[in-house]
Structure 1
């Protein structure tokens, strides 16, 4: 795997973007967004998650986006190969997922090129 390789796992209900497979959620936070392109949302959240936590040693990001109840459900977090302050890390991820300007950007990006709920 090259340094910039990310794995994209798709099934009927969800899209998962992970640095490593199998994807593992040692830490996780969740959020909801309006319907849009699951892959585009997953890529944007992954990018922001990576930027926010790239200095967290031993951390490998995972973002899963699925459609449920007329919205997109986002699970963001990842694998930790070292001991971490779990609550602190999950709080940082939750803050990222609830950042209004980032959420607005994710929604706009997910609705480009025809929008909808493509996979």
Structure 2
């Protein structure tokens, strides 16, 4: 299923929001958040990850939200065409995922 130009892949516990299928994570970082709307959360995280890495040539964001016992496990990252500074890019994703203001906004949006 796609929404606009985005593919929304769902199963019982996992929702993946991606521009391209098959989904590929060349870089990623993860965090845990309280339970809420997986789609709303994925869309917000995708926007913030895109803003943080839009200067990374060939970057296509992917967000995977998995329902786990303690809430939601969010894995954000994506596909990159070409050579890129992997450690710096993953560190930037981790910064976005752990930012308290982002997390509070995402949780409010997903309720």
What TM-score results when the alignment is normalised by the length of structure 1?
0.87
| Equivalence map 1:4-23=2 (5 Å) | 5-23=5-23
Does residue 68 of structure 1 match 2:68? yes
Match of 1:54 in 2: 54
- Residue aligned with 1:46, SS: helix
- Residue aligned with 1:96, SS: helix
Match of 1:100 in 2: 100
Structure 2, unaligned runs of 5 or more = none
Residue-pair matches, total: 108
Q: CA deviation at 1:70?
A: 2.4
Alignment RMSD:
0.9
Relative to its length, the structure with more strand (as a share) is 2
Q: Which runs of 4+ in 1 moved over 6 A?
A: none
What TM-score results when the alignment is normalised by the length of structure 2?
0.93
- Report Cα offsets for 1:28-64 as digits up to 9, x if no partner: 1000001111111011101111111112101110000
